[in-house]
A = this chain, B = another copy of it.
Amino acid sequence: MTPWQIEIIGLVAAVLTTFAFVPQVLKIWRNKNAAGVSLTMYLVLFTGILLWLAYGILLDRLAIILANSVTACLQLIIIVLKLKHR
């Protein structure tokens, strides 16, 4: 495989692991219930994503910065909805 083909796999992976959180946001939004969702998971995940964002900024890698910015926003929405609809 060429390095370019490998990068495509990484980019598809980034898109999937970023937008995967959209269905969870919609599910909590629609049901007004987040009882089954783990707040601890999202707090740890959000902290990790902020560190990935810092890592991307320090390395000046746009893909890492973009993917983790969007993911951080989606996870912040889940955390706010979870705190609202425990």
Contacts and interface: CB of A to CB of B under 8 A. Distances in A.
Interface in A3-27: 6, 9-10, 12-17, 19-24, 26-27
Size category of the binding interface on chain A = 35 or more
A33 B55 CA distance: 36
Interface string A63-86: 000000000000000000000000
Contact of A36 (B19, B37, B48): B37
B48 A16 contact: yes
Interface of A: 1, 6, 9-10, 12-17, 19-24, 26-28, 31, 33-38, 40-42, 44-45, 47-49, 51-52, 54-55, 58-59
